[in-house]
Amino acid sequence: MKPIYLDNNATTQVAPEVVEEMLPYYSTFYGNPSSMHTFGGNVGKKIREARAKLAELIGAQPEEIVFTSCGTESDSTAIWAALRANPDKRHVLTSHVEHPAVKNLAEYLGRNGYRVTFVPVDNQGRLDLDHLYSHLSDDTAIVSLMWANNETGVVFPVEEVAKRVHKRGIVFHTDAVQIVGKLPINMADNTIDMLSLSGHKLHAPKGIGALYIRKGTKFAPFLMGGHQENGRRGGTENVAAIVGLGKAAELAVARMDDENTRVKALRDKLETSLLSAIPNSMVNGDVASRLPNTTSIAFEFVEGESILLMLDEYNICASSGSACTSGSLEPSHVLRAMQVPFTAAHGSIRFSLSVYNAEDEVNQVIERLPPIIDRLRKMSPFWAEKERSCQTNA
Amino acid sequence: MWEYTGKVKEHFLNPRNVGEIENADGVGEVGSMACGDALKLTFKVDGGIIQDAKFKTFGCASAIASASALTELLIGKTVEEAEKLTNDHIADYLGGLPKEKMHCSVMGHEALEKAIACYRGEPDKVQAGNVVCECFHITDLQLERAVTDHSLKSIEEITNYIKAGGGCGQCHDTIQGIIDRVNGTLTEKPPAPKPLTNIQKIKLIEETLEREIKPALMQDGGDIQLVDVDGDRVLVKLKGRCAACAMSQITLKDYVESKLKELVAQALTVEEVVS
Ligand SMILES: Cc1ncc(COP(=O)(O)O)c(C=O)c1O
Ligand code: FES
């Protein structure tokens, strides 16, 4: 049975068109793009094509794109490049809600001689801009902020921030892994210096990513080696995956409209229906500035892993901000940073849609989930207490 | 995804004995919403035999399955037999639990102990000892007991069993100390440094605040002021950004306290005075 896949912020289905485009680069055209022969050279041409397509998706110049192995590598590359380009600056600024790809590196830097400022967010997940601006200093080497949050879908005003940061001569990097392919972006219209993206979030395969580096940005490679990627990233190219990412970028341009109309409407239907069918439920994050495909909903007094496993019985795939699924015991750092109360944080579920979702799938969730929450609440000692206190209040 | 046994899944999807017995003879409640799981166990005793048992639980699949299994294990047993049940019986009954989830069975066992104490009219054992892990409210005595009972050897194992150390991680050094002590590896104590006189201590605290701590806080737009030193309690006031910022607790505890412990004396604790 085909799963009802509503976990597209975790990873996406590789588009069939992408697979088709990739296969010949494993079987027939396996040459090395650096080789002197035509057989390899033709592969090089195909990579150029892919680079141009990806550049078009984000409004960049093809030379500004460096292919990497994943979003995480792009993030690390960008941050280390900025630190190496500014060896006398020892301050890094980022936010409290970054993906581990940035968060763990920032924490590492904090333990190893750098001063790191983590900018807080409010209870809607919105960045505290005053805090951010007041912490910029002449010692700041890089500001790295995610463009859209993977758990809540909240979109940060990074273009506006980049402008202010840039004016002070500070490098600005954004982790755009979640936004690329979901909302239109245009690097020609902003001053962001570096941007990370990842293939598997936009229907390309896992294990391919890219880093956008604006022309003129001081850069030092993270992986030193051959002259590939213009000396900016050593290592023989993952040709088929690069070809796949190019194709996925082309599809994303064509499907941007669908994502922001039909998919968004499906997300909205799912959200409003669940909120009205299930008491004590609320959306996590600022609905006014959000990805079109994501909703994070807190169901009070129940625990996320139980919800997910009961949904799993119907082959419905989602994810949770709950601790139990990850092996750690604290709820997600994103929900904690937003000061979502424990009653809600443990029972938060993220649904993330894609162009491959149909209305009938959303309807199934709307039908299946309310009884699941009801059942778990009947089992929960806190729900009973809550009901009792409501009765005495009345 | 967790690898749950068929038995865990089956108990999770069809939990037995959900609910609460009215006028129960034994009631045991453990856990809290903040900890991520909680369990309320109630049972009825007649002629020394547990005739019925019910549970309510907030938690993940294995917490629900463990509670369900516990009630099945209890019904029909004498109270004396029930007393001999351990968390391993619960886990075994379910065909095993992933090691990261052992704390679910431990929670079942704790609820049972409490319910039996309640049945016998024994006073609820107050959490004796000093809280070591603030995140999950676990005391040194509980930790010692867990290390002994389950022969635990690492912080990770402790977290799997009783959750301590699974949050902010601040308690890791203390927990490691307890593991080492109980397992007898800490044979030679380092020579104790000469105790400071009161005047020396206060002076050293003042100096450390001025020289080490203040400049770091000020870089982030905050400030700290020493209010008093009462024994080993250092009372401070936080000013500026730090006081409003969500991280002020962590800045205080993590940073100021660890610096003072490192540079002045291990026994010091820091408290914030709100003006
Ligand atoms: C915001 C964000 N940044 C970075 C990553 C890491 O990307 P990758 O899995 O390609 O390393 C992810 C994916 O989980 C993400 O959501
Ligand atoms: S105090 Fe133990 S994990 Fe936070």
User: Residue B253: what pLDDT?
Assistant: 61
Sign, Cα dihedral of B23, B24, B27, B31: negative
Q: What is the 3-state secondary structure (H, E, C) of chain A?
A: CCCEECECCCCCCCCHHHHHHHCHHHHCCCCCCCCCCHHHHHHHHHHHHHHHHHHHHHCCCHHHEEEECCHHHHHHHHHHHHHHHCCCCCEEEEECCCCHHHHHHHHHHHHCCCEEEEECECCCCCECHHHHHHCCCCCEEEEEEECECCCCCEECCHHHHHHHHHHCCCEEEEECCCCECCECCCHHHCCCCEEEEEHHHCCCCCCCEEEEECCCCCCCCCCCCCCHHHHCCCCCCCHHHHHHHHHHHHHHHHHHHHHHHHHHHHHHHHHHHHHHHCCCEEECCCCCCECCCEEEEEECCCCHHHHHHHHHCCCEECEECCCCCCCCCCCCHHHHHCCCCHHHHCCEEEEECCCCCCHHHHHHHHHHHHHHHHHHHHHCHHHHHHHHHHHHHC
Q: What is the mean pLDDT of residues A210-236?
A: 94
* End-to-end Cα distance, chain B: 48
Provide the percentage of residues in chain A whose pLDDT is more than 90: 90
More confident residue, B136 or A272: A272
Tens digits of residue pLDDT in B180-211: 988 886 544 555 556 778 888 888 888 888 88
Instruction: Give the burial class of A373: count Cβ atoms within 10 A of its Cβ; 0-12 exposed, 13-18 middle, 19 or more buried.
Output: buried
Instruction: Give the mean pLDDT of A262-282.
Output: 97
Does residue B245 have a pLDDT over 70?
no
pLDDT of B128 strictly over 50? yes
Just give the CATH number of B131-183.
1.10.10.1100
Q: Tokens for B43, please give them.
A: 């049972």
Mean pLDDT value across residues B23-29 = 93
For B16, the closest chain A residue by CA position comes to A379
Cβ count within 10 A of residue B176: 15
Task: Read off the pLDDT of residues A171-191 as tens digits, 9 standing for 90 and up.
Answer: 999 999 999 999 999 999 999
Q: How many CA atoms lie within 13 A of A46 on its CB side?
A: 26
Q: How far apart are CA B35 and CA B12, in angstroms?
A: 20
- Give the span between the Cα atoms of A312 and A4, in whole angstroms: 9
Residue to mutate among A330, A343, A374, with most B CBs inside 10 A, is: A330
The per-residue DSSP string of chain B comes to -----HHHHHHHHS-SSBS--TT-SEEEEEEETTTTEEEEEEEEEETTEEEEEEEEEES-HHHHHHHHHHHHHHTT-BHHHHHT--HHHHHHHTT---GGGHHHHHHHHHHHHHHHHHHTTPPP----S-EEETTTTEEHHHHHHHHHHTT--SHHHHHHHH-TTSSS-TTHHHHHHHHHHHTT---SPPPPPPPPPHHHHHHHHHHHIIIIIHHHHHHTTEEEEEEEEETTEEEEEEEEHHHHSTTHHHIIIIIIIHHHHHHT-TT-EEEEPP-
The HSE-up count of residue A259 (CA atoms within 13 Å, CB side) is: 23
Closest atom of ligand 2 to B165 CA is 3
Tokens 């959303």 belong to: A362
Q: How far is A100 from chain B (nearest CA, A)?
A: 16
Distance from the CA of B242 to the center of ligand 2, in angstroms? 21
- Are A381 and B58 in contact (CB < 8 Å)? yes
CA distance A89 to A32: 40
Fold match between A4-9+256-393 and A16-252?
A: no
Q: B255 or B243: which carries more pLDDT confidence?
A: B255
Question: CATH 3.30.300.130 spans which residues of chain B?
Answer: 198-272
Place B221 in a pLDDT band, splitting at 50, 70 and 90.
low
Is the four-CA dihedral A94, A96, A97, A100 of positive or negative sign? positive
pLDDT at A95: 97
Q: In the predicted model, is pLDDT for residue A256 greater than 60?
A: yes
Average pLDDT, chain A: 94
Ligand nearest to the CA of A72: 1
**pLDDT above 50: residue B247:** no
Taking the Cβ of residue B250 and every Cβ of chain A, the question of whether any pair is shorter than 8 Å is answered with no
Query: Is residue A77 lining ligand 1, measured as CB closer than 6 Å?
Result: no
* pLDDT of res. A385: 73
Higher local confidence (pLDDT), A161 or B221 = A161
* CB within 8 Å of A195: residues ≥ 6 apart: A58, A147, A173, A174, A176, A187, A211, A212
CA–chain centroid gap for B182, Å, is 18
The reply to whether ligand 1 has any atom less than 6 angstroms from the CB of A101 is yes
**In chain A, domain spans:** 4-9+256-393, 16-252
What pLDDT, on a 0 to 100 scale, did the predictor assign at position B122? 83
Confidence label for A387 from pLDDT (cuts 50, 70 and 90) = low
B181 or A247, higher pLDDT: A247
Q: What is the pLDDT of residue B248?
A: 46
Name the more confident of A343 and A12. Answer: A12
pLDDT, tens digit (0-9, with 9 covering 90-100), for B63-117: 999 999 999 999 999 999 999 999 999 999 999 999 888 889 999 999 999 999 9
A60 and A211 in contact (C-beta within 8 Å)? no
For domain B6-119, give its CATH number from 1.20.1250.20, 3.40.50.300, 3.90.1010.10, 3.40.1350.10.
3.90.1010.10
Residue B246 is predicted with a pLDDT of: 45
Of B39, B159, B221, the CB nearest to A134: B221
Residues of B with catalytic function: 35, 104
Gyration radius of chain A over CA positions = 22
Rounded to the nearest angstrom, the gap between the alpha carbon of residue A291 and the centroid of all alpha carbons in its chain is 10
**Residue B244: its pLDDT value, please?**
42
Query: Which of 1.10.490.10, 3.40.50.720, 3.30.1360.180, 3.90.1150.10 is the CATH number of A4-9+256-393?
Result: 3.90.1150.10
With tokens 């859209």, the residue in question is: A148
Residues 6 or more apart whose Cβ sits within 8 Å of residue A16: none
- Identify whether the C-beta of residue B83 lies closer than 8 Å to the C-beta of residue B89: no
Q: CA-to-CA distance for A62 and A52, rounded, in angstroms?
A: 5
The architecture of the domain spanning A16-252 is 3-Layer(aba) Sandwich (3.40)
| Residue of B58, B159, B171 to mutate, testing the A interface (most A Cβ within 10 Å of its Cβ) | B58
Please list, in sequence order, all residues whose beta carbon lies within 8 angstroms of the beta carbon of residue B78, skipping any fewer than 6 positions away: B48, B49, B50
Mutation pick for ligand 2 pocket among B140, B171, B178, B249 (CB with most ligand atoms within 8 Å): B171
Could you tell me the two tokens for A82? Answer: 């900025």
Widest Cα–Cα separation across chain B: 70
Band (A92; pLDDT cuts 50, 70, 90): very high
DSSP strand pairing (A281-283 vs A294-299)? antiparallel
Centre of ligand 2 from the C-alpha of residue B130, in Å: 13
Q: Are B196 and B207 in contact, with CB atoms under 8 Å apart?
A: no
Our mutation pick for probing the ligand 2 site, out of B135, B156, B252, counting the most ligand atoms within 8 A of Cβ, is B135
Distances (CA, A) of B180 to A55, B139, B177: 57, 16, 5
B247–chain A Cβ distance below 8 A for any pair:
yes
Confidence class for position B123, pLDDT limits 50, 70, 90? confident
pLDDT of residue A393: 41
**Model confidence pLDDT, tens digit, residues A104-118:** 999 999 999 999 999
The alpha-carbon gap from A115 to the nearest alpha carbon of chain B, in Å, equals 9
Q: Kindly list the residues of chain A whose beta carbon comes within 8 Å of any beta carbon in chain B.
A: 96, 115, 117-118, 120, 131, 134-135, 301-306, 309-310, 313, 322-325, 327-331, 337, 339, 342-343, 346, 378-382, 384
What mean pLDDT value characterizes chain B? 84
Of A120, A135, A343, the CB nearest to B246: A120
Q: Assign a CATH topology to domain B198-272.
A: GMP Synthetase; Chain A, domain 3 (3.30.300)
Rounded Cα distance, A358 and A2, in Å: 13
**Least confident among A26-40, A286-300, B85-99, B146-160:** B146-160
CB contact under 8 A, A330 and B168: yes
Contact between B223 and B242 (Cβ < 8 Å): yes
Q: How confident is the model at residue B137 (pLDDT cuts 50, 70, 90)?
A: confident
pLDDT score recorded for residue B186: 52
State the span(s) of chain B assigned CATH 1.10.10.1100: 131-183
Chain A with chain B: Cβ pairs closer than 8 A: 87
Neighboring chain B residues of A117 at a CB cutoff of 8 Å? 220
Q: What is the structure's pLDDT at B243?
A: 45
CA–CA–CA angle A273, B61, A371 (5° rounding): 25
| pLDDT at res. A153 | 97
Pocket lined around ligand 2, Cβ cut-off 6 Å: B 133-135, 164-171
Give the pLDDT confidence score for residue A331 in this predicted structure.
79
Q: Are B214 and B207 in contact (CB under 8 A)?
A: no
Q: What is the mean pLDDT of residues B113-137?
A: 83
Residues of chain B with CATH 3.90.1010.10: 6-119
Among B36, B136, B241, select the one facing A303 at the smallest CB separation. Answer: B36
pLDDT reported for residue B220? 61
With a 6 Å cutoff on the Cβ, whether A175 touches ligand 1 is yes
B-interface mutation test, from A329, A338, A380, most B Cβ less than 10 A away: A329
- A58 pLDDT higher than 70: yes
Q: How long, in residues, is chain A?
A: 394
User: What is the rounded CA–CA span in Å between residue A283 and residue B53?
Assistant: 37
Closest Cβ opposite residue B58 in set A303, A327, A331: A303
Whether residue B171 contacts residue B159, with contact meaning beta carbons closer than 8 Å, is answered with: no
Residue B9 pLDDT = 94
Question: Is any Cβ of chain A less than 8 angstroms from the Cβ of B157?
Answer: no
